[in-house]
Amino acid sequence: MLDGPFYTLKAAWESLTKQPGGRVAVTASVSGAVGKVAYTSAKHGVMGLVRVAAKEGVQHGLAANAVPPGWMDTGLMRGQLDEVAAKKEISTEEVIAQFAHTSRGIALST
- 56 and 30 part of one domain: yes
Check whether residue 4 and residue 53 sit in a common domain. Answer: yes
H-helix or E-strand spanning residue 27? strand 23-27
Does residue 4 share a domain with residue 49? yes
Q: Is residue 2 over pLDDT 90?
A: no
39 an active-site residue? yes
Which entry of 2, 31, 39, 99 is annotated as an active-site residue? 39
- What is the total count of domains within the chain? 2
Handedness of CA 32, 34, 39, 44 (dihedral sign): positive
Return the C-alpha torsion angle 71, 72, 75, 77, nearest 10.
0
- The pLDDT-based confidence of 15 (bands split at 50, 70, 90) is very high
DSSP string, 54-105: HHHHGGGT-EEEEE----B--HHHHTTHHHHHHHHTS-HHHHHHH-EEEETT
**Residue count of the chain:** 110
pTM of the model: 0.66
Is residue 14 located within the same domain as residue 53? yes
Residue 26 belongs to what domain range? 1-68
Residue type, 45: G
The pLDDT tens digits for 19-74 are 888 899 998 877 655 567 888 888 889 999 999 999 999 999 999 999 887 777 77
Tens digits of residue pLDDT in 72-81: 777 777 888 8
Residue-level pLDDT at 63:
94
For residues 10 and 61, membership in a common domain is answered with yes
Q: Which pLDDT band, with edges at 50, 70 and 90, does 97 fall under?
A: confident
